[in-house]
Chains A and B, each alone.
Chain A
Amino acid sequence: MRFTINGNSLEVEADLRTSLLDMLRDHLGLTGSKKGCNQGACGACTVLVDGERINACLGLAVQYEGREITTVEGLGTLASLAPLQQAFIDHDGFQCGYCTPGQLCSTVAMMSEVKRGLPSHVTRDLDADVIPFSREEVRERMSGNLCRCGAHNGIIDAIESVYGEASR
């Protein structure tokens, strides 16, 4: 199976039963994406496929053959953190850090959804072309990423610090 992962074209040999998450972690050593619940309830495994966020635990690797996959390793490096990663540090957007890779990947896709005008459960006007950036919108849109440490307020602060101004 061939994939483009964080910009690199890779050939992977894996049993058909391998989930996308297990392929990333166990076959490719990309252990940034985390296995929390392994049943789509926590979002720790969130990665981007062609720019869209999905739960890597709920998909088989074979379903994503030929697609472009971005994991937290593709967002920034230790030497050069993405602005969102720095913001999570600055705003205490985590304690244990286990959910953080999923939170980061989810945020990147979430903001592109807002920018293209995808409404959410709390969007009042479904006809609106522009979705106003608000903490209420961010909370709803990030509800698929749980943080058992309870760092949600810091996470929202971090997201607002990076994207809030630009969207106003």
Chain B
Amino acid sequence: MMPFSYERAVDASDAVRRATGAAKYLGGGTNLVDLMRETIERPDKLVDVTGLSVEIVEDAEGGLVIGAAARNTAVAENRLVRTRYPMLTRAIMAGASAQIRNMATVGGNILQRTRCTYFYDDDGCRCNKRVQGQGCDAIEGFHRIHAILGASPSCIATHPSDMAVALVALDAIVHLRGSEGDRSVPLTDFYQPPGDRPDIETVLKPGELITQITLPTSPLAARSEYRKVRDRASYAFALVSVGAALSVENGHVADVRLALGGVAHKPWRAFKAEQALRGQPATAEAFAAAAAAELAEARPLKDNAFKVDLLSRSIVATLSKLAGDLA
């Protein structure tokens, strides 16, 4: 680990003032400390932001405000989240372990780096995300866990978060504070496509801080599900995952939210599938057709082609379960 200094911020503006040069904000540290130990991350200063807002409260419009320093466990446990946005509790509880969920913050979860093994192998492998322009050893390597959507010839890494898949499906907004002021970005637009610069992962400007997440009101979300498929029953990253909310009127899809995890550089909002579904009969056939519409642009490689079928079936299963619950 490279040497660094350490400071605790008392509030968001204080944090932004302190985050100069090669500083990094430190939440729970579950990913950053690990990456610093591998010298993949080399901040010269850590600004501890766990003293910032952990509040989870209703806003004036009836939506939810979640402080970026709220721990993953606290979000999943919150009564408003459990009743109004159950998919979020389900997604968080499907991720990591109890120990890690107790440590990890919401802001840190959103900003966690990929678990591509080539990204982590500093000594032995090339990675465009780690070293700009170095090359990617995953594309010709073992890429069973890698992306089938949105990847580029430079990078096929996936975003590992479960929580963020639910947040994207729930139209979450990320609120940012930087030296030039405050701004808000929908989470689905927060992540940058890898293109030829996979080292640039988000729209964050240098020193910009995630202060809170807001979830709009959503009558739909009270009936929502998160389905995760992985190599073992617990404590594993997703091969594919599906966050979905569905409302059905007279046997037809009135409204739907669908997001996919483990298959792209970001939590993938399935806008094409949603579009294809609205007004259609709430049947397995229509769900499969919607999945096909979304996955028409899937570009699997030799080892991860199974993800296309697995994801399609997971979408159908998740929506069918919701439709069954509603019937």
Query: Are the C-beta atoms of A40 and B93 separated by less than 8 Å?
Result: no
CB closest chain-A residue, reference B103: A54
Q: A59–B103 contact, CB under 8 A?
A: yes
Instruction: Find chain B residues with CB under 8 A from A16 CB.
Output: 3-6
Instruction: Give, as a whole number of angstroms, the nearest-CB distance from B23 to chain A.
Output: 14
For residue A133, give the distance in angstroms from its CB to the closest CB of chain B: 16
The CA of A40 and the CA of B115, in the complex, are separated in Å by: 13
Give 4 new A-B contacts, CB below 8 A, not counting A58-B34, A118-B76.
A59-B28, A59-B103, A60-B46, A113-B98
Q: Which residues of A contact B134 (CB under 8 A)?
A: none
**Taking the nearest CB of chain A, how far is it from the CB of B24, in angstroms?**
12
Q: Do the beta carbons of A144 and B100 come within 8 Å of each other? A: yes
Q: Which of A2-10, A80-88, A119-127 contacts B (4 or more CB under 8 A)?
A: A119-127
For B93, list chain A residues within 8 Å (CB): 119-121, 123
Q: Interface size bucket, B side?
A: 35 or more
Residues A126 and B82 in contact, CB atoms below 8 Å apart: yes
The answer to whether B318 has its CB under 8 Å from any CB of chain A is no
Give the interface centre of A40, A46, A123 by most chain B CB atoms within 10 Å: A40
Q: How many A-B residue pairs have CB under 8 A?
A: 93
Known contacts A119-B76, A119-B89, A143-B235, A19 near B99 by CB under 8 Å? no
The verdict on B73 contacting chain A, using a C-beta distance below 8 Å, is yes
User: Does A71 make an interface contact (CB < 8 A)?
Assistant: no
Q: Is the CB of B30 within 8 A of A63?
A: no
| B132 close to A (CB within 8 Å) | no
Asked if residues A62 and B100 are in contact (CB atoms below 8 Å), the reply is no
Partner of B33, one of A19, A113, A121, A145: A19
Residues of B within 8 Å of A34, CB to CB, are none
For window 103-149 of B, CB contacts with A under 8 Å fall at 103
Residues of A within 8 A of B73 (CB): 52, 118
A110 interface contact, C-beta 8 A:
yes
Binary interface encoding of chain B residues 71-107 relative to chain A, with 1 for a CB under 8 A from any of its CBs, else 0: 0010011000011001001100110111110110000
Tell me, yes or no, whether A93 is within 8 Å of chain B by CB. Answer: no
Question: Given A17-B3, A119-B77, A119-B89, are A54 and B33 neighbors across the interface (CB < 8 Å)?
Answer: no
Chain B residues near A19 (CB, 8 Å)? 33
Given A60-B33, A119-B89, A144-B235, do A55 and B83 touch, yes or no (CB 8 Å)? Answer: no
> Contact check: which of A46, A60, A121, A123 meets B234 at CB < 8 Å?
A121
- Assuming A118-B77, A140-B234, is B34 touching A39 (CB within 8 A)? yes
Residues facing A in B26-47 (CB within 8 A) are: 26, 28-30, 33-34, 37, 46
